[in-house]
Chains A and B, each alone.
Chain A
Amino acid sequence: MSQVFHEIEKKIIVSLKDNPKQTPESLEKSTQLSPDQIRRGIEWLRLKELAIVNESKSSMISLGKNGIESLQKGLPERRLLDLLKNGPKKLSDLQKELGFVFGPSIGLARKNNWVEASGDEIILKNSPSELPGEKTLKLIGNEKLPKDKIDLDDLSGLLKRPDFIIEDVLKTQEISLAESAKTLTLSNSVGGIDVEAKVPEVFVARTHPLKDTIDEIREIFVTLGFSEILGNMTQSSFWNFDALFTPQDHPARELQDTFYLDRINAKKIGTPEQIRKVSDSHKKNWRYQWDINEARKMVLRTHTTCVTIKHLAENKPDEARIFSLGRVFRNEKVSYKHLVEFNQIEGVVVGKDANLRNLMGIQREFYKRIGITKIKFWPTFFPYTEPSLQTMVYNEKLGKWIELFGMGIFRPEVTKPLGITKPVLAWGGGIERIAMLKYDLDDVREFYNNNLGWLRSATKCQ
């Protein structure tokens, strides 16, 4: 199939076949195209590597205002010498006759020993038949000449004088056909366009890649029968810690791990019964003085578990599948693997027959749906679940097992004080980690940099 050319390109190619080396101006004449059409046509052919464009620079020389005056009246120093031909003259007379070129012409003539001063008179000593510059002045005349046609030594003196010489730098292009173009056959089909040409890049408007992962995970849990609940990011310590059997003197509750809000305390943290029973459970099992003021301290939730436990305590369902999804916070140094704020999903199953193998089954199903099939379970520890497990998934790229979601069955010390009577299976974990696998990122911070270069181009790899 022959390549399709624009009419402009065709005309240029034809002209260059007849006359192999041309300037844009000569192409204009031979093709009857406008300068702009020629410019575009040459550029298209150059990008397709069908035309070769050699650019060269040249200077054109013509006379300026004072140059033209000297061409007509002679150089100022010639006028001086001519005035002295018939004997010495007084300075004042010369000044009158020569006007403003008097000074420079006397200076030049004395320097070259053509004249000498005697008292207030100037005497001619020697009058050369051709002064420097005179030859060039005549050569240029009223024309525009290429600089390389001129004796540069003779020109140099004139260049120094104001408004004598005008120098125009011209860029000239010489266009010729590339070898591959010389044998081209030009089809006569009309209206075709170059479908192989490069086009400008356009940017898609899209949802954030992390949000796409969040939506995908949300959909998976909905199809597995789970309903979404929402909750606040700011929580009382009571729901974030106490209700989850984390003692008030536990290291995890310290300032260095948790964000406490400055001088903000919750007024109402739970029903009097919830507070009494939760604090009793702490006193009995952890043996310390439980302090309600500690429970009132507001924190940025460290997990979404506080949202699900609050929901369960308020609704006490006998049978339920719910999940909560959102931002959680840790007071950590930001690095390529740690953020202070990230997304977590947390799900629970309530039911009299809910058991650990079901919990593992739900995990396996979830991972399968996000494309992870190589998984295993290890025992682990969380303060609020017993038994507790973690999922390990195999990462092909890293060649090792990495930890994803944690899970377990809520401890009776958690559920009983809140009046939850049926077993509660719970699991949760960070979403960024999964999104990093999906988008092949090594630096988790990229999700929150809003770097347009990345947002406009990020593609899923899994």
Chain B
Amino acid sequence: MPVVELSYSRLQKLVGKVSKKQISDFLPFLGLDIESEDKDLIRIEYSPNRPDYSTDFGIALGLQGLLGIKTGAVKLNVKKSNKYSISVKPAVSKIRPFVTGIVAKNGKIDDKTIKQLMTMQEDLHFGIGRKRKKSSIGIHDLDKISFPLVYTTANRNHKFIPLNSEKEITISEILANTDVGKDYGSLLGQSSQVPLILDNDQNTVSFPPIINAAITTVTTKTKNLFVEVTGINKEDAEDMLAVVATILQSAGFTLESVKISGAKNSSPKLDHRKLIVNSSLINQTLGLDLKIPKIISCLKKSRLDASSKGTNIVCTIPGYRFDIFGPMDLVEEVALGYGIQNLEPTISPSQTIGEINSISLQLKSLDKTMIGLGYLEALNSSLTSKRVLYDMTNRDSTKIISVLDSKSQEHTILRDSILPGLLENLSKNIHESYPQKMFETGTVFVTDNPITEKINFSAISAHKDANFTEIKSIIQSALNIGFGIKVETKTSAHPTFEKGHCASVILNNIPIGIIGKIDSKIIENYKIRVPVVGFEISLSESILKN
């Protein structure tokens, strides 16, 4: 979950008439978790579906609603202007076809505001921008740009001074030598042409989705902003623009429109949407009996507008709330406006009779039997390593099932056997007193078009007198008491077991597993100083009943 850092005092100014305690009490009920706080600073975790909460301006809008200070939908006041326009060349359509934008004027930009805007930009890039693939933003100093702009393409030898640089370098150099170039260059594919926004003086404004030009860098001296969003579809680009526009307006800027035209592009509408929800869906889903005016006031506290039409509620949803897909999302908005803390849990009698799954029951009965026989239950990971599973026990590793890019070397391969894990456990316990007797039942994985999961049962006994007879007695008793079945043993060989002390476990003439004395070399490699006997059988095919 993304985290935003902000200060109580700034938030208090933005919300108005609110105590520090009210803020910390109400933040969780907006769905925001306070991760940590230190005097005036708080770090807040927010959900990626609410990029408006990536800034204190957006959080303030939410708190105002919940506290009843300001309710209803935020209206964007965009002054129509003819001064600003972007024309789009058809060449971009194969690379990054859409651009949109807005102008924000007369704002006050301090360090903290710049920091908040940066966090917002990062979050939008990562979340709805899908790491800049779907859409990306550039925020510029308006006064450094001469309009009209053109959204076009250039070849990779095109030169400009990018952000955080002092000299002119080529597109190829940006992609090869800068961090952002290396991270996002792959989004442009192998095309010789790259997207570019140029101003009227042929100065480069932005090289989306990679980097802005240095000349338009926003500083604390900047008064007026130009925001452009480019992307692979128009809706996503405009959604992103709606978030930025709403936040900038809340930050005190006045918005002016940018005209977009050419190659299937058009000016953004930044419209409200209408969505209808029936009041009975709301009451049924929440288990409440709210009257229509109450529902409307709850929605307004969630910063939406609403009116009634019979039992239907017609909601007005501002552009930045694209997390709202349908009526059920509005039900949640009502719940939030109502206050989750005001929802009283109820318990309704069950109409169904509960049942433990029969496999679980059978395994539980086996557990009990093994405990009666003096065995301690062990639990090992299903995801283990080649070392434990194959190398230490000489087992055949040709049908290995591995996972991609594990962050832990000890967890890279799905186990096809339980016994190796138990041997590993013994090796970690050589300082504990003997006898050591352990068992485990669990899932093993077998490659089989594509994969079959089976339940295996394994046990080991380690002490100075451990021998084949002992472990054969154990498996026969366990299966007889646990499942009422009788198994036999038949001479066999297995790389994990000592020659001449190894047998197949046979049930109705079918081998279901292996039993014997663990090979002395393996025991030695594990530095275990007593003999070890053990077995492993499959329970799935012939023993467990569904």
Q: Are A351 and B404 in contact (CB under 8 A)?
A: no
Q: Are A261 and B236 in contact (CB under 8 A)?
A: no
Partner of A361, one of B288, B346, B367: B346
Q: Are B360 and A228 in contact (CB under 8 A)?
A: yes
Q: Are A413 and B326 in contact (CB under 8 A)?
A: yes
A438 within 8 A of B: no
Residue of B nearest to A388 (CB): B332
Interface residues of A, dominant DSSP: mixed
Partner of B383, one of A229, A300, A360: A300
Partner of B377, one of A211, A353, A377, A381: A211
Contacts of A210 in B (CB 8 A): 379
B43 within 8 A of A: no
Q: How far is the CA of A405 from the CA of B485 in the complex (A)?
A: 41
Residue of A nearest to B351 (CB): A319
Interface residues of B, dominant DSSP: loop
Query: Nearest chain B CB to A71's CB is how many angstroms away?
Result: 51
B30 within 8 A of A: yes
CB-defined interface of B126-164 with A at 8 Å, one 1/0 digit per residue? 110011011000000000000000000000000000000
| Beta-carbon contacts under 8 Å, A184-208 to B | 203, 205-208
Q: Are B408 and A334 in contact (CB under 8 A)?
A: yes
B263 within 8 A of A: no
Q: Are B351 and A413 in contact (CB under 8 A)?
A: no
- Known A-B contacts A225-B351, A267-B449; A360 and B429 likewise in contact (beta carbons under 8 Å): no
| Beta-carbon contacts under 8 Å, B9-63 to A | 28-31, 33, 47-50
Contacts of B325 in A (CB 8 A): 285, 411, 413
Contacts of A452 in B (CB 8 A): 376, 429, 432, 436
| Beta-carbon contacts under 8 Å, B276-302 to A | 284-288
CB-defined interface of B162-204 with A at 8 Å, one 1/0 digit per residue? 0000000000000000000000000000000000000000000
Q: Are B347 and A362 in contact (CB under 8 A)?
A: yes
Q: Are B407 and A333 in contact (CB under 8 A)?
A: yes
Q: How far is the CA of A108 from the CA of B534 in the complex (A)?
A: 71
A176 within 8 A of B: no
Partner of B354, one of A223, A267, A381: A223
Q: Are B405 and A256 in contact (CB under 8 A)?
A: yes
Q: Are B450 and A298 in contact (CB under 8 A)?
A: yes
CB-defined interface of B427-448 with A at 8 Å, one 1/0 digit per residue? 0110011001110000101010
Residue of A nearest to B432 (CB): A452
Q: Are A206 and B376 in contact (CB under 8 A)?
A: yes
Q: How far is the CA of A24 from the CA of B329 in the complex (A)?
A: 90
Q: Are B403 and A332 in contact (CB under 8 A)?
A: no
Query: Nearest chain A CB to B408's CB is how many angstroms away?
Result: 5
Contacts of B383 in A (CB 8 A): 259, 300, 329, 340-341
- Known A-B contacts A218-B360, A361-B346; A259 and B451 likewise in contact (beta carbons under 8 Å): no
Residue of A nearest to B283 (CB): A355
Stretch at the interface among A47-55, A118-126, A230-238: A230-238
Partner of A333, one of B327, B408, B432, B450: B408
Contacts of B331 in A (CB 8 A): 386-387
Partner of B352, one of A225, A266, A362: A225
Query: Nearest chain B CB to A27's CB is how many angstroms away?
Result: 34
Q: Are A357 and B29 in contact (CB under 8 A)?
A: no
Query: Nearest chain B CB to A388's CB is how many angstroms away?
Result: 7
Stretch at the interface among B80-88, B100-108, B333-341, B495-503: B333-341
Contacts of B336 in A (CB 8 A): 379, 387
Residue of B nearest to A364 (CB): B345
A423 within 8 A of B: yes
Q: How far is the CA of A381 from the CA of B31 in the complex (A)?
A: 8
B118 within 8 A of A: no
Q: Are A409 and B30 in contact (CB under 8 A)?
A: no
B411 within 8 A of A: yes
Contacts of B436 in A (CB 8 A): 452
Residue of B nearest to A298 (CB): B450
Q: Are B285 and A225 in contact (CB under 8 A)?
A: no
Range of interface residues on A (Cβ < 8 Å) = 35 or more
Residue of A nearest to B372 (CB): A205
B382 within 8 A of A: yes
Contacts of A455 in B (CB 8 A): 376, 378
B-side interface residues, number (CB < 8 Å): 92
Contacts of A264 in B (CB 8 A): 401, 447, 450-451
- Known A-B contacts A227-B354, A251-B126, A287-B233; A356 and B287 likewise in contact (beta carbons under 8 Å): yes
Query: Nearest chain B CB to A57's CB is how many angstroms away?
Result: 33
Q: Are B379 and A450 in contact (CB under 8 A)?
A: yes
Q: Are A222 and B285 in contact (CB under 8 A)?
A: no
Contacts of B357 in A (CB 8 A): 227-230
B380 within 8 A of A: yes
Residue of B nearest to A228 (CB): B357
Partner of A448, one of B49, B126, B355, B381: B381
| Beta-carbon contacts under 8 Å, B433-481 to A | 433, 436-438, 443, 445, 447, 449-451, 453
Contacts of A256 in B (CB 8 A): 405, 407
Q: How far is the CA of A455 from the CA of B404 in the complex (A)?
A: 33
Q: How far is the CA of A83 from the CA of B16 in the complex (A)?
A: 126
- Known A-B contacts A267-B449, A331-B406; A341 and B347 likewise in contact (beta carbons under 8 Å): no
Contacts of B30 in A (CB 8 A): 379
Q: Are A356 and B335 in contact (CB under 8 A)?
A: yes
- Known A-B contacts A355-B287, A356-B287; A389 and B382 likewise in contact (beta carbons under 8 Å): no
Q: How far is the CA of A222 from the CA of B370 in the complex (A)?
A: 25
A372 within 8 A of B: no
Q: Are A230 and B359 in contact (CB under 8 A)?
A: yes
Contacts of B367 in A (CB 8 A): 207, 211
Residue of A nearest to B375 (CB): A205
Q: Are A358 and B379 in contact (CB under 8 A)?
A: no
Residue of A nearest to B371 (CB): A205
Q: How far is the CA of A45 from the CA of B407 in the complex (A)?
A: 59
- Known A-B contacts A360-B343, A387-B331; A378 and B31 likewise in contact (beta carbons under 8 Å): yes
Contacts of B235 in A (CB 8 A): 287
Q: Are A215 and B364 in contact (CB under 8 A)?
A: yes
- Known A-B contacts A222-B355, A223-B354, A449-B428; A356 and B379 likewise in contact (beta carbons under 8 Å): no
Query: Nearest chain B CB to A353's CB is how many angstroms away?
Result: 7
Q: Are B345 and A357 in contact (CB under 8 A)?
A: yes
Q: How far is the CA of A38 from the CA of B284 in the complex (A)?
A: 85
Q: Are B428 and A450 in contact (CB under 8 A)?
A: yes
Q: How far is the CA of A206 from the CA of B373 in the complex (A)?
A: 10
Contacts of A403 in B (CB 8 A): 33
Contacts of B343 in A (CB 8 A): 356-357, 360, 377
Partner of B340, one of A230, A377, A450: A377
B119 within 8 A of A: no
CB-defined interface of A337-362 with B at 8 Å, one 1/0 digit per residue? 00111000000000101011110111
Query: Nearest chain A CB to B373's CB is how many angstroms away?
Result: 8
Contacts of A447 in B (CB 8 A): 379
CB-defined interface of B231-265 with A at 8 Å, one 1/0 digit per residue? 00101100000000000000000000000000000
- Known A-B contacts A218-B356, A228-B356, A249-B134; A379 and B335 likewise in contact (beta carbons under 8 Å): yes
- Known A-B contacts A266-B450, A455-B376; A331 and B356 likewise in contact (beta carbons under 8 Å): no
Q: Can you list 28 contacts pairing A with B, beta carbon distance less than 8 Å?
A: A205-B370, A206-B371, A225-B354, A227-B354, A233-B445, A251-B130, A255-B404, A260-B404, A262-B404, A264-B450, A267-B449, A285-B325, A287-B233, A287-B235, A298-B451, A319-B351, A321-B354, A331-B405, A357-B343, A360-B345, A360-B346, A379-B31, A411-B325, A412-B327, A448-B381, A449-B428, A450-B379, A450-B428
A interface residues, Cβ below 8 angstroms from B = 203, 205-208, 210-211, 215, 218-219, 221-230, 232-234, 249, 251, 255-256, 259-262, 264-267, 285, 287-288, 298, 300, 319-321, 327, 329, 331-334, 339-341, 351, 353, 355-358, 360-365, 376-381, 383, 386-389, 403, 409, 411-413, 423, 447-453, 455-456
**The 3 residue pairs across chains A and B that have the minimum distance between CB atoms:** A225-B350, A381-B47, A355-B287
Other CB < 8 Å A-B pairs besides A206-B377, A357-B286, 13 of them? A205-B373, A207-B367, A233-B382, A234-B414, A249-B130, A251-B48, A340-B381, A340-B407, A341-B383, A356-B287, A379-B30, A381-B47, A448-B381
